[in-house]
Amino acid sequence: MSFIAAFALAAFAWPASDSNPAPERVAQPGTAAHGREIYSGAGCASCHASSLSQEAKSPLILAGHPLEGAPFRGTWWNGRIATDVGEASDFCLRTFIDPKSEGFTAEERKALVLFMQELGSERGVSPLALLRRDAGDVDLRAGDAARGRDLYQRACVSCHTVAGRAAAEVERELIGDLSPAQVAEIIRKGTGRMPFFQVDRLDAPQVADIAAYLELARKSR
């Protein structure tokens, strides 16, 4: 297994369906309320705040943009013009949450679209291009491990954690023999089930700081 593949698998704690069963549905199928239940229970909230105001109140840095305005943005993946957020939701499910999934049902997709439409877009909508890019702009020499520790807690721990195990142990297992440059590339491009953080989610200095912190963790083994 490659180092990058190992990074994607080690200490990646997405809620498992058997240990964290989905809450019992109470909303009428195919409604916006049903879509909110899916958002909360299927893993969508792990990467996306529902609104700009919710994101502003949270200390976490999520890989995905808030869902407010998503049905009206017109751009969602590598610059391809699309307004079908049901398709985008399906892609996320089959790529980042459950690669073995056959996707959302038509009823579930409808519910998610209605939920996102209901969120509105009070601040207006600008086209949004989701672009993977390399870490060529990241100056690893400027990385600060102290800042990186805080950023790691805000952007990474929610997925890269294992119940009952010390954080330092998990971090060392996560990194393995990855270099800071490899860590920066993974943050920017994602790998396996790990989504990527584009420049408006984690900028170049922040990526350098996280890489510096994880390099310190690796050297402490």
Neighbours of 176 (CB within 10 A): 14
For residues 115 and 192, membership in a common domain is answered with no
What's residue 5's pLDDT? 45
For residue 17, what is the DSSP state?
Answer: T
pLDDT at 17 over 50: no
Predicted confidence at residue 79, as pLDDT, reads: 55
- Among 39, 84, 44, 83, which Cα is nearest to 62's? 44
End-to-end alpha carbon distance in the chain: 21
Please tell me whether residues 50 and 90 are part of one structural domain.
Answer: yes
Domain identity same for 85 and 163: no
Whether residue 160 sits in one domain with residue 208? yes
Tell whether 154 and 87 lie within a shared domain: no
What is the model's pLDDT at position 109?
94
Buried (b) or exposed (e) across 44-81, using 16+ Cβ within 10 A?
A: bebbbbbbbeebeeeeebbbbbbbbbbbebeebbeeee
Residues 112 and 145 in one domain: no
Query: CATH number, domain at 95?
Result: 1.10.760
CA distance 88 to 52: 19
Are residues 98 and 162 part of one domain?
Answer: no
Alpha helix locations (H) across 75-176?
85-92, 106-119, 145-155, 167-175
Domain containing residue 62: 31-119
- Max mean pLDDT among 176-180, 206-210, 214-218 falls in 206-210
Whether residue 128 lies inside any domain: the answer is no
Q: Which of 65, 89, 119 is the last residue of a domain?
A: 119
pLDDT in tens, 49-73: 999 999 999 999 999 989 998 888 7
Domain assignment present for residue 197? The answer is yes
Section 78-98 average pLDDT? 80
Can you read off the two tokens belonging to residue 208?
């350098």
Whether this prediction's pTM lies above 0.85 is answered by no
Total tally of structural domains belonging to the chain: 2
